[in-house]
Amino acid sequence: MGDTTFFTVDELTARVEAILAKAGLNAVQAGAVARVVTAGERDGAKSHGIYRIEGVLRTVAAGKVNPNAVPELMADDGTAIVRVDAQQGFSPPAFALGLPALAERARRLGLAALVINDCTHFSALWPEVEALTGQGLAGLAMCPSYSTVAPAGGNRALLGTNPIAFGWPRGAGDPYVFDFATSVAARGEIELKRRAGERLPEGWAVDVDGQPTIDPEKALGGAMLPFGGHKGSAIGTMIELLAGIMIGDLTSREALDKLGTTTLAPMHGELILAFSPKIFAGNRAGDPFARAESLFDAILGQGARLPSQRRFMARARSKAEGIALVSAEIALLDRLLENGAAT
Ligand code: NDP
Ligand code: PYC
């Protein structure tokens, strides 16, 4: 395609990092944020790729995130819980800081948790669980967001889009990973449809009066719906409890009250659990990794695909050909470097 330019991961990371550094982020923040944004583009996960940079810059310009934050690892309190204070910076550098201690404790104890407090959060969660599977561990990550989702049976925004991600290691192969919002779709998907002038599928959202809508503008002004009715609603509520209230951090409603807008990235906490399948299996019969492979084979044997398969294929394509950006996306990067975010 004549409209497309290809970048290596290093080239795109450097380009994004330059935009973030010019906007005032220190090296710790700019580097970690640039890596997750670039990973989103590399994996064809557009709703959390370069489209997110503008929101990051707006949040910095509004003074709602600390661009100079250096996250702090709290002293070991003898429990299975590793704590990182993000110092009101973005979540990716806080996770990077906590990961070694989380993995070490999970390998030693079988189960460990990483609590990140006071982080500004805009990213996908698969980077977290994939980092754990890369160390032979299973992982579960979750966080609130800001209230944009009505509980099942309700009609006003209360819960967040509250993502949850799980990863299981598969040796040298790609891990089993799923990562999704507990709303019907991520809010980023609705924003991308608005920009593209597309309508929403039925059942995604209600307008400000609580009436069903397929208009992205009205959906953004109203409330999104949980996936799977009462089931998604309950999982979204669990995330508010575990990754908000239990870790002494903000719920989605509190995060929105504090921020006052959905146009900036919210500040709250994140919870990541790490499991050692070997320790959990103990002396029980059967190797857990081999048994997992037979489960995956049975799923694939029915013609189904595993979650993240599309993403891993996009990653392989990006590795072989480079990360493809169209001219409008390159113009966006140029504009953000030149002028920062439109206010
Ligand atoms: P999707 O509904 O697109 O679902 C994503 C997951 O389901 C992926 O693991 C995907 O794999 C898998 N999947 C999709 N279709 C199939 C299929 N047919 N068979 C098997 N697996 C399938 O995601 P969402 O829109 O809900 O969320 C997108 C992203 O937004 C997530 O990464 C999430 O973390 C992020 N998010 C972040 C928030 C935050 O506050 N930080 C809030 C909400 C969402 P594949 O990728 O291979 O298609
Ligand atoms: O896509 O729903 C979303 C989202 C909210 C905050 C970050 N991503």
- Total residue count of the chain as it appears in this document: 343
What atom of ligand 2 comes closest to residue 181's alpha carbon?
2
pLDDT of residue 342: 74
271-299 b/e with 16+ CB inside 10 Å = b? bbbbbbbeeeeeeeeeebeeebeeeeeee
Cα distances (Å, whole numbers) of residue 205 to 124, 150, 163, 215, 247: 21, 9, 17, 9, 30
Distance 145 CA to ligand 2 centre (A): 7
List all residues whose CB is within 6 A of at least one atom of ligand 2.
Answer: 47, 122, 145, 161, 181, 186-188
| CA–CA distance, 60 with 255 (Å, rounded to integer) | 16
Q: Which ligand is nearest to the CA of 45?
A: 1
129-172 confidence digits (pLDDT tens)? 999 999 999 999 999 999 999 999 999 999 999 999 999 999 99
pLDDT of residue 2: 63
Pocket lining: 291 vs ligand 1, CB cutoff 6 Å: no
Pocket lining: 185 vs ligand 1, CB cutoff 6 Å: yes
Active site residue 147: no
The mean pLDDT value of the chain amounts to 96
Percent of the chain as helix, strand, coil, to the nearest 5: 45, 15, 35
Q: Which CATH number describes the domain made up of 69-183+226-307?
A: 3.30.1370.60
pLDDT of residue 82: 98
Q: Does the pLDDT at position 343 exceed 70?
A: no
179-212 confidence digits (pLDDT tens)? 999 999 999 899 989 999 999 999 999 999 999 9
Domain edges within the chain: 1-61+309-343, 69-183+226-307
Distance 122 CA to ligand 2 centre (A): 6
Residue nearest to atom 34 of ligand 1 (CA): 124
pTM: 0.96
Mean pLDDT of 27-44: 98
Percent of the chain with pLDDT over 90: 95
Active site residue 47: yes
Mean pLDDT of 244-271: 97
| CA–CA distance, 80 with 82 (Å, rounded to integer) | 7
Mean pLDDT of 14-28: 98
How many other CB atoms are found less than 10 A from the CB of residue 53?
A: 23
Distance 269 CA to ligand 2 centre (A): 14
Q: Report the residue among 159, 179, 310, 312 best suited for mutation to probe ligand 1: largest number of ligand atoms under 8 A from its CB.
A: 179
323-339 confidence digits (pLDDT tens)? 999 999 999 999 999 99
42-69 confidence digits (pLDDT tens)? 999 998 999 999 999 999 999 999 999 9
Closest CA to 162 of 180, 188, 150: 180
Task: Fold for 1-61+309-343, please state it.
Answer: Hypothetical Oxidoreductase Yiak; Chain: A, domain 1 (1.10.1530)
Active site residue 121: no
